[in-house]
Amino acid sequence: MTQYEPVIGLEIHAELQTNSKMFCSCSADYSNAPEPNTFICPVCTGLPGAMPVLNKKAIEQAILVGLSLNCSINEFNTFARKNYFYPDLPKGYQISQYDLPIASKGYLDILDDTDNPLRVVVRRVHIEEDTAKLSHEKNYALVDFNRAGVPLLEIVSEPDMRSVEAALSYATKIRAILRYLGVNSGDMEKGVLRFEANVSVRPIGSSELRTRTEIKNLNSFRALTRASAYEIERQIEVYENGGEVVQETLGWDEARGVTVSQRGKEDAHDYRYFPEPDLPPLQLDRAWIDSIKSQLPELPDAKTARFISDFKLTPSEAQLLTSEQALANYFESIVAKSKSPGKAIHSWIAGEFMRYINDSGLALDEINLPAEKFAQLIDMVTDKTISGNSGKIVLNEMLKNGGDPQEIVKAKNLAQVSDTGFIQEAIEKVLSDNPKEVEQFLAGKETIVQWLMGQVARATKGKADPNVTKELLVKALDGKRK
Ligand code: ADP
Ligand code: MG
Ligand code: ZN
């Protein structure tokens, strides 16, 4: 049987976080509109004769994205009309960019499904406008123009991905970068970031690009991966049955887990692109581009590399911390206030802290634990004032109810004791309460020491320093040998 490989290219639509819309002064913050059709004007509802004006902030954000994706920024920009009819498009055309986009020929380095580096070429980044929102009722549909004209960026990759995992890793990284830049919240439930997957399959070893299908409006990473995986299997089956894949636009039915045909794919000529006569070409100043470049924050890859070298973290440890800028900043604030090594601080964040976040469903910015208090707690474990287990108890208490680590340790009586008298007493009691286990040890079952350690920890409520305990326990057991 022929072995196939998938070929995937992604188109990503990202709304920009500007105050006003792309071509008018209406608020772009449509999700906070008091009512449908309140953030509208003659421009964004497509009234005849209304004139668009470019939003400078949107251009600036587009340049930030282009630079972050290693693109060249094109100084000479034009806008084009992309003509089609749909009830969510009041003008009957969308203002977009066609032959001269704001940024082109960049790349993004990711890890593929086998964790090998893969450079995905970013073909272009262009500026356009979002459509209105339709809600389909039983016998009619409603249209809300608050979203119409919101600045939208389209990021188009070359068909460079060869697995669903690679596509996911590309999409995840683009989202992280957009969030780092502060140009998009990444809030996919709100539809501010949407993926379109272009998928084809071909026999492994072949370099041809076969007919692709395009799956529109994927609003979550889960939808992106499930829909692409489904489409890959479907196309392989078509070829295996001697058929041909038809180029078309598909939708994803989340409930049934299938792609559904929406329409035959239109080609560029179907849109009758022509230069937008109401907007003059946009000539960008090199100096302005350079000043935007100087505002670029440290991006995930650079931060990851720095964390690996500064804090001796593994790549995956560093990546966990840099996946969110806020998390990376939190980590660095704790490092700054703590005497413990970065590696230990990472463990606390990756372990008990993340568990709390996942279980509680809270977002990082809803967590009210000052870095300084977290640092104090970690230091108390590092200097053995409390045990690791007690540290977890204190951390959870602080996350739930706030408070000061020293006071919680005092209130819960968690301070660890390395006072040998106290520990010795506990050991003697454990040994006399468990004669059978002591016999087993003396008969050569050395592993029983671990179990006895557990008993001592329990008897001392976790307050006995484990190193001291072990030393004393081994000595006490050896003393029982004849
Ligand atoms: P257009 O939408 O203008 O026709 P293209 O067809 O060149 O542009 O590309 C649109 C998207 O489809 C791009 O993201 C590209 O990477 C992807 N793509 C193009 N050809 C294929 C293919 N054979 N298999 C998978 N993806 C493809
Ligand atoms: Mg497309
Ligand atoms: Zn408007």
Q: What pLDDT shows up at residue 162? A: 97
Give the environment of ion ligand 3: residues with CB less than 5 A. Answer: 24, 26, 41, 43-44
- Spell out the residues 6+ positions from residue 279 whose beta carbon is closer than 8 angstroms to its own: 23, 52, 54, 79, 95
Q: Give the three-state DSSP class for 124.
A: strand
Q: Give the three-state DSSP class for 127.
A: strand
C-alpha span between 2 and 8 (Å, rounded): 19
Other beta carbons within 10 angstroms of residue 413's beta carbon come to 9
* 9 CA: nearest ligand 1 atom: 16
- Spell out the residues 6+ positions from residue 400 whose beta carbon is closer than 8 angstroms to its own: none
Q: What pLDDT shows up at residue 265? A: 65
From the CB of 158, is ligand 1 less than 6 Å away? yes
From the CB of 212, is ligand 1 less than 6 Å away? yes
Q: What pLDDT shows up at residue 182? A: 97
Give the environment of ion ligand 2: residues with CB less than 5 A. Answer: 11
Q: Degrees (nearest 5) of the Cα angle 30, 31, 32?
A: 90
From the CB of 81, is ligand 1 less than 6 Å away? no
Instruction: Tell me which residue of 430, 423, 334, 419 sits closest to 382, measured CA to CA.
Output: 334
Other beta carbons within 10 angstroms of residue 102's beta carbon come to 23
Query: How would you write 150-215 as a 3-class SS string?
Result: CEEEEEEECCCECCHHHHHHHHHHHHHHHHHHCCCCCCHHHCCEEEEEEEEEEECCCCCCCCCEEE
* 209 CA: nearest ligand 1 atom: 23
* Domain layout of the chain by residue ranges: 4-292, 300-411, 420-478
Parallel, antiparallel, or unpaired: how do β-strands 248-253 and 213-218 relate?
Answer: parallel
> In sequence order, what DSSP letters do the residues of 229-282 get, joined into one string?
HHHHHHHHHHHHTT--PPPEEEEEETTTTEEEEEEEPPPGGGGT-EE-TTS--E
Instruction: Tell me which residue of 418, 430, 422 sits closest to 480, measured CA to CA.
Output: 430
Reported as a single tens digit per residue, the pLDDT across 245-297 is 999 999 999 999 999 998 766 676 789 999 999 999 999 999 999 999 999 99
Q: What pLDDT shows up at residue 266? A: 67
Q: Give the three-state DSSP class for 331.
A: helix
From the CB of 213, is ligand 1 less than 6 Å away? no
Reported as a single tens digit per residue, the pLDDT across 186-209 is 999 999 999 999 999 999 999 999
C-alpha separations of 170 from 222, 316, 391 in Å = 14, 16, 37
From the CB of 9, is ligand 1 less than 6 Å away? yes
C-alpha separations of 363 from 168, 219, 220 in Å = 22, 20, 18
How far away, in angstroms, is 131 Cα from ligand 3 center? 12
Looking at domain 420-478, does it have CATH number 1.10.10.410? Answer: yes
The ligand whose atoms approach the alpha carbon of 198 most closely is: 1
C-alpha span between 75 and 86 (Å, rounded): 32
Structure tokens at 246: 């038809």
* 158 CA: nearest ligand 1 atom: 16
- pLDDT tens string, the chain, 482 residues long: the values are 789 999 999 999 999 999 999 999 999 999 999 999 999 999 999 999 999 999 999 999 999 999 999 999 999 999 999 999 999 999 999 999 999 999 999 999 998 888 899 999 999 999 999 999 999 999 999 999 999 999 999 999 999 999 999 999 999 999 999 999 999 999 999 999 999 999 999 999 999 999 999 999 999 999 999 999 999 999 999 999 999 999 999 999 999 999 999 876 667 678 999 999 999 999 999 999 999 999 999 999 999 999 999 999 999 999 999 999 999 999 999 999 999 999 999 999 999 999 999 999 998 999 999 999 999 999 999 988 888 888 999 999 999 999 999 999 888 877 777 677 788 888 999 999 999 999 999 888 888 999 999 998 888 877 788 888 888 898 998 888 87
From the CB of 198, is ligand 1 less than 6 Å away? yes
How far away, in angstroms, is 175 Cα from ligand 1 center? 21
- Cβ atoms of 448 and 440 within 8 Å: the answer is yes
From the CB of 391, is ligand 1 less than 6 Å away? no
Instruction: Please return the burial class of 296, using the count of CB atoms within 10 Å of its CB with bins 0-12, 13-18 and 19+.
Output: middle
How many alpha carbons lie under 13 Å from residue 123 in its C-beta half-sphere? 12
From the CB of 216, is ligand 1 less than 6 Å away? no
- Cβ atoms of 116 and 84 within 8 Å: the answer is no
Look at ligand 1, atom 24, and give the residue with the nearest C-alpha: 200
**Span between the terminal Cα atoms of the chain, in Å:** 71
C-alpha span between 101 and 471 (Å, rounded): 70
C-alpha separations of 116 from 26, 93, 461 in Å = 46, 42, 47
C-alpha span between 379 and 433 (Å, rounded): 35
Q: Go through the chain and tell me how many residues it has.
A: 482
Q: Give the three-state DSSP class for 465.
A: coil
Instruction: Tell me which residue of 27, 54, 31 sits closest to 40, measured CA to CA.
Output: 27
C-alpha span between 202 and 8 (Å, rounded): 11
Q: What pLDDT shows up at residue 264? A: 67
How far away, in angstroms, is 22 Cα from ligand 3 center? 9
Of 98, 198, 244, best ligand 1 pocket probe by most atoms within 8 Å of the beta carbon: 198
Bridge partners of 135, per DSSP, are 142
Q: What pLDDT shows up at residue 418? A: 66
From the CB of 106, is ligand 1 less than 6 Å away? no
How far away, in angstroms, is 268 Cα from ligand 2 center? 10
From the CB of 124, is ligand 1 less than 6 Å away? no
Where do runs of H (alpha helix) occur along 350-447? 354-360, 371-382, 388-401, 405-411, 420-433, 435-442
How far away, in angstroms, is 280 Cα from ligand 1 center? 29
CA 356 remoteness from chain centre: 18
Q: What pLDDT shows up at residue 420? A: 77
* 211 CA: nearest ligand 1 atom: 23
From the CB of 6, is ligand 1 less than 6 Å away? no
